[in-house]
């Protein structure tokens, strides 16, 4: 039985390495969600992760089976502490017990480098959660210090792009006024401890909300005319880079210009409901394939051309038990049986938007989605389902009206 299983996955990986990922991204990150009842065993996931050239994995919990399976592989891990743990983690003793059991016990064999405490907490509009966020992060960090692990493991949290009040143009990126005080305290923590700022960014939702006005090529990293930020004269030929630079500017406006930004989630669904325009295998292939090409070039955004992007693609597998629209269960690069959900077609690196990003260009107007204060999300709150990605993703469908107006002007220019 074990031999047949090994042979099955070995044959899959051999075909994947030739057919799906002929060019592999350096320092590629991948989100490994497990809201499903039909996924491969963790030990069978190791070669799948390696087949795509991923060197970093982000978990939404600290699953011991996964962490043990990846021992001595050299793959770096970000482990998650769900939103339901925030209040408990305010207690230093409980935080230290959690770190001992879920982090220290796996070191150094498994290379855990970061713990993210809570997912998109500030956009839940839940004061009990938001008030617990920083104290929980501080307690977990203190536990690492006490255990002598703070030099190798950092503490952070992941944010939805909805923490931005404005992102047009990228040079005017700013955080929501109602979140500035809370964010400022968190940012101070990042600066003092040297931990990265994590943001979840999904251009898919801007396109889904206004498919007739948002240029598809712009969101899929396909060749296009692009747009110019009039304040900086920087040229943008894809939406994700514009989103990232809007975050950089928002951070700079609060005095944190040098803070590292990592994209903890981004991806494109290969299938969706009838009203989920753009959720197709072909678009997913273009988005993720072109993104991986750009990551392999190790170039940054127009504003930070020399900064490593540190992007975690969402996600490794399709997850059949995720709530929400059909797209939520179809973000995976792989099907549960370990076969590719689609071919990424990355056998060459030509004709990819972002590969030759420069300043200057034709007169145009910059583009990026304009997040607005979200409504209360309707996500699961049991286990690590509460830290499930996309708890705030649904809001984007109704938040790009301003983007549409901008795009209309751009298209008529």
Q: What is the mean pLDDT of the chain?
A: 83
List the CATH number of the domain containing 329: 3.20.20.80
Instruction: From the candidates 76, 120, 165, 328, give the one annotated as an active-site residue.
Output: 120
The pLDDT-based confidence of 296 (bands split at 50, 70, 90) is confident
The pLDDT-based confidence of 298 (bands split at 50, 70, 90) is confident
- 30-83: pLDDT as tens digits: 999 999 999 999 999 999 999 999 999 999 999 999 999 999 999 999 999 999
Identify the DSSP state of 40: P
> Is the whole-model pTM more than 0.85?
no
Higher pLDDT among residues 259 and 308, named by residue = 259
CA dihedral (154, 160, 163, 168) positive or negative: positive
Q: Does residue 124 lie in a domain region?
A: yes
**Does residue 120 carry a catalytic annotation?**
yes
Instruction: From the candidates 2, 84, 177, 265, give the one annotated as an active-site residue.
Output: 265
Domain count across the chain: 1
Mean pLDDT in residue range 25-32: 82
Q: Chain-centre distance of CA 2, in angstroms?
A: 34
Q: Does residue 5 lie in a domain region?
A: no
* Cβ atoms 70, 107 nearer than 8 A: no
**Enclosing domain of residue 62:** 21-346+381-393
Q: Is the pLDDT of residue 6 over 70?
A: no
Contacts of 68 by beta carbon, 8 Å cutoff, 6+ apart:
42, 106, 110
Q: Does residue 11 lie in a domain region?
A: no
Q: Does residue 167 lie in a domain region?
A: yes
Q: Does residue 403 lie in a domain region?
A: no
Q: Which tokens belong to 159?
A: 């944010």
DSSP string, 127-182: HHHHHHHHHHHHHHHHHHHHTT-TTT-EEEEEEEGGGEEE-SSGGG-EE-GGGHHH
Helix, strand, coil % over all residues of the chain, rounded to 5: 40, 15, 45
Q: Which of 35, 12, 16, 29 is nearest to 390 (CA)?
A: 35
Q: Does residue 1 lie in a domain region?
A: no
Q: What is the pLDDT of residue 350?
A: 44
Residue indicated by tokens 């500017």: 249
* Cβ atoms 81, 54 nearer than 8 A: no
Name the burial class of residue 108, with classes exposed (0-12), middle (13-18) and buried (19+) by CB atoms within 10 angstroms of its CB.
Answer: exposed
Q: Chain-centre distance of CA 344, in angstroms?
A: 18
**Does residue 265 carry a catalytic annotation?**
yes
Q: Does residue 360 lie in a domain region?
A: no
Torsion region of 360: left, alpha or beta (phi above 0 gives left; psi -120 to 50 gives alpha): left
- DSSP β-bridge partners for residue 57: 30, 77
Q: Is the pLDDT of residue 14 over 50?
A: no
Which helix (H) or strand (E) is 222 found in, with range? none
Identify the DSSP state of 384: G
The pLDDT-based confidence of 351 (bands split at 50, 70, 90) is low
Give the span between the Cα atoms of 286 and 413, in whole angstroms. 27
Higher pLDDT among residues 19 and 220, named by residue = 220
Q: Does residue 16 lie in a domain region?
A: no
Residue indicated by tokens 């005080």: 181
Q: Which of 250, 235, 152, 234 is nearest to 201 (CA)?
A: 250
Alpha carbons within 13 angstroms on the beta-carbon side of residue 201 total: 29
CA dihedral (333, 338, 343, 348) positive or negative: positive
Give the span between the Cα atoms of 206 and 406, in whole angstroms. 12
Mean pLDDT in residue range 112-133: 96
């Amino acid at each position: 039985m074990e031999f047949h299983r090994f042979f099955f996955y070995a044959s899959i990986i051999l075909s994947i390495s030739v057919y799906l990922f002929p060019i592999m991204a350096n320092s590629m990150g991948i989100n490994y969600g497990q809201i499903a009842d039909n996924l491969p065993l963790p030990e069978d996931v190791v070669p799948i992760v390696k087949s795509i050239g991923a060197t970093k994995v982000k978990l939404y919990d600290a699953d011991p089976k996964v962490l043990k399976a990846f021992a001595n592989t050299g793959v770096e891990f970000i482990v998650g502490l769900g939103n339901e743990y925030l209040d408990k983690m305010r207690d230093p003793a409980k935080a230290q017990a959690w770190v001992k059991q879920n982090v220290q016990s796996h070191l150094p064999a498994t290379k855990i480098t970061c713990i993210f405490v809570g997912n998109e907490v500030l956009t839940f509009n839940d004061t009990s959660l938001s008030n617990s966020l920083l104290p929980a992060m501080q307690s977990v960090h203190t536990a690492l210090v006490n255990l002598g692990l703070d030099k190798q493991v950092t503490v952070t949290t992941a944010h939805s792009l909805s923490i931005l009040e404005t992102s047009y143009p990228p040079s005017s990126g700013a955080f929501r006024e109602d979140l500035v005080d809370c964010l400022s305290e968190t940012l101070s923590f990042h600066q003092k401890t040297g931990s990265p700022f994590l943001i979840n960014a999904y251009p898919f939702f801007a396109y889904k909300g206004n498919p007739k006005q948002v240029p598809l090529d712009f969101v899929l990293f396909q060749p296009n005319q692009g747009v110019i930020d009039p304040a900086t004269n920087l040229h943008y030929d894809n939406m994700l880079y514009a989103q990232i630079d809007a975050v950089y500017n928002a951070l700079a406006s609060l005095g944190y210009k040098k803070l590292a930004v990592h994209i903890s989630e981004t991806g494109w669904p290969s299938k969706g409901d009838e009203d989920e325009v753009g959720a197709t295998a072909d678009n997913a292939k273009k988005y993720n394939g072109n993104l991986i090409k750009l990551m392999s070039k190790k170039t940054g955004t127009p504003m930070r051309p020399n900064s490593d992007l540190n992007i975690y693609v969402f996600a490794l597998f399709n997850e059949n038990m995720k709530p929400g629209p059909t797209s939520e269960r179809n973000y995976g690069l792989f099907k549960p049986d370990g076969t590719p959900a689609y071919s990424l077609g990355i056998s060459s690196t030509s004709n990819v938007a972002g590969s030759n990003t420069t300043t200057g260009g034709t007169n145009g107007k910059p583009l990026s989605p304009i997040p607005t204060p979200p409504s209360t999300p309707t996500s699961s709150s049991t286990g690590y389902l509460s830290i499930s990605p996309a708890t705030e993703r649904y809001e984007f469908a109704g938040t790009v009206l301003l983007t549409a107006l901008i795009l209309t002007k751009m298209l008529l220019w």
